[in-house]
Amino acid sequence: MLRSKSLVVGSTGLVGKSLVSQLIEAGQPVRALVRNDQESTNPLLEYLKIDFDNLQLPYEALSDVKDLFVCLGTTIKKAGSKEAFQKVDINYCFEIAREAQTQGVKNISIITSVGSDASASNFYIKTKGVIEEKIAAMDFDSIAIHRPGLLIGPRDELRTAELIGQKIYPLLLNPLLMGSLRRYRCIKGGTLARAMINLSGSKEGVNFYYYDDFKENQQ
């Protein structure tokens, strides 16, 4: 069920763009937090420029918002270091969530990764697990943690491995991933976005969602 207003963080990425588009198509007012100046002629979409390094969200950013969608993410190559990567994937996400919680936002949805584990030796998986633990400990009515496999769809900056994966993975590997391995299947960004909208606030407490959940929640 759609809420009165939604706030999307990471609205320029693969899933974030689709989220904004689908919310607007459904007649849902959207606020999108961005780093750089952006304008929209659509009355349902409002861009708010913020400094993620000195986060002070104005009151109007979260007023009347019930659903927060956190789609932030980067790569070590783009960020420049492991520390900078964690600043985006942990610090930024947590600080925004904390502001939202303080101002009474009821529901939060965040994208992490299949296999996320704060105790893992793999840096990427560990980082995703750490932000999961931080978000799960917060006092929202509903917390939706989405754990997709490889995300496919048009990107502004398509990485080489992802380009290969987008061509091969769906056709050759997805059918081989059965049973408990189904959760590792790749998923279209638009499919994940639709599921995030439909699942936001649908269950109280902390909820983890995977490939089959994304596919089943498209109406």
Q: How far is CA 116 from CA 50, 96, 126, 202, in A?
A: 28, 20, 6, 23
Cα separation, 195 vs 209, in Å, equals: 9
> Which of 68-82, 112-126, 155-169 has maximum average pLDDT?
112-126
Compute the half-sphere exposure of residue 49: CA atoms within 13 Å on the CB side of its CA. 6
Q: What domains sit in the chain, N to C, each tagged with a CATH number?
A: 6-216 (3.40.50.720)
Say what the alpha-carbon torsion angle 14, 20, 23, 24 is, to the nearest 10 degrees: -130
Q: What is the pLDDT of residues 171-193, one digit of tens each?
A: 677 788 899 999 999 999 999 99
Mean of all residue pLDDT scores within the chain: 89
Angle at 205 between CA 208 and CA 212, to 5 degrees: 25
Most distant CA atoms of the chain, gap in Å: 49
Q: What does the pLDDT read at residue 123?
A: 96
Q: How confident is the model at residue 149 (pLDDT cuts 50, 70, 90)?
A: very high
Residue type at position 78: K
CB 106 within 8 A of CB 139: no
Mean pLDDT on 62-79: 88
Mean pLDDT of 122-133: 97
pLDDT reported for residue 72 = 92
45-69 pLDDT, tens digit per residue, is 999 888 888 877 766 778 889 999 9
The model's pTM is: 0.90
Q: Taking CA 52 as the corner, what is the angle to CA 124 and CA 127, rounded to the nearest 5 degrees?
A: 15
Report which of residues 51 and 97 the model is more confident about. 97
Question: What was the pLDDT predicted at 2?
Answer: 44
Inter-residue contact 131 to 93 (CB < 8 Å): yes
